[in-house]
Amino acid sequence: MARVLRSLRSSQAVARFQRCCGLFPAAEEGAGDGLAGPEGGGASSPARDTRPEGDGGARQRLPAANGVRSQPQPQDCTQKYVVKNYFYYYLFKFSSALGEEIFYITFLPFSYWNINQDVSRRLIMMWCIVMYIGQVTKDILKWPRPCSPPVVKLEMRAEYGMPSTHAMAATSISFTFCIATINQNKYPYVLGLIVAFVLSTLVCLSRLYTGMHTVLDVIGGTLISAVLIALMYPAWDILDHLMLTSPFCPILSILVPLFLCYNYPKLEDYSPTRADTTTVLGAGAGAIIGFWLNNLNASPNYPSESLQLSLPSISGMLTVMLAKFLVGIFILLVIRYFIKGLALWVLCSRFQVSVNDLEARQRLEIEVPYKFITYSSVGFSATMIVPLLHKLLGLI
């Protein structure tokens, strides 16, 4: 068993997978054959070497500022690589994006505006739980990411590797959506499971292809997410009822996430996981307050029944869905931009530091409130303000 675990945690396994998919360091497999890396246009393209500390890569520390030590940063060097199979390259780059903020800020609101409110609430609830546990586990275990070389790194990540939160989020969102819509949408249950399995598998494999995680990181993230779904499923209806009706819901949805963020595990060096966790919990908190207020006011009332697709009406339905999405995303991006700028300006003025001082922005007393305020505003807007705007525009 120990040998199997070592092999699953090995960087060599990740490197072999990359080679099988046609991704090579420029020094291997004939870099001079003219095959390009991403956006290379005929020449191998650079990618940052993001080796975690202790893997033999050169590191440099930024000086401490105001009592905060900075995360060890990768040395300013590049790693050239060659892409010999562009199908896998674009497939896995797209799949990897399904675990990024751009996906969360589009799909989760889309599910609320256009699919089903009940399903959306369960998705957001599981997303917050899974991501918090995954991020905390990273900073408790402190397992490094795969070494480069032999692995080709296509992304720059400063946090630790185990478990893969991409794998956790993909598994949670895919299977929660499938389970939550079993009795609400008319599609074969087996088909739903197959789609959930394929999507989560693609995201998991993308983390190997991009060189961000070992096989064990991905398996661990998937298993943790599966266990959490199994444990939380019996309580879904109870938690959903409390989320909508409890008079304490708005207060708890703010106090509990803030408590968790301010008491996030402390590290010797700065890690972006605390900021990412605050982003997720802040968005969840704002969304929950929106859920509660919508239920209290019973407005606006998006249909909670399953989508009934029929050929004569599908064109009009898609037009309305697209209009809702474009209007909603525009509002969310505008709110995110202005609230982030305002929160940073107020906090930096309060603590007498420059808004452009990145190290100062990493301080607990600035990072947590500005992230929480920004993304709780986004979550609240997605579930309260945007639906009201949809109603005013006649899009419901």
Q: What is the pLDDT of residues 46-104, one digit of tens each?
A: 443 433 333 333 333 333 333 333 334 443 345 677 888 889 889 988 988 888 888 88
Give dist(CA 202, CA 189) in Å, integer.
20
Mean pLDDT, to the nearest integer, of 149-164? Answer: 81
CA–CA separation, 139 and 7 (whole Å): 22
User: Residue 218 in contact with residue 210, Cβ under 8 Å?
Assistant: no
E strands in 183-225: none
Answer yes or no: is pLDDT of 352 > 90. no
Which pTM does this prediction carry? 0.79
DSSP per position, 83-96? ES-HHHHHHHHHHH
Please provide residue 91's backbone torsions phi and psi, each rounded to the nearest 5 degrees: -60, -50
Q: What is the pLDDT of residues 178-233, one digit of tens each?
A: 888 877 666 778 888 898 999 999 999 999 988 888 888 899 999 999 999 999 99
- Alpha carbon 93 to its chain centroid, in Å, reads 14
Please list the active-site residues: 166, 213
Assess whether the previous peptide bond of 250 is cis (omega < 30° from 0).
no
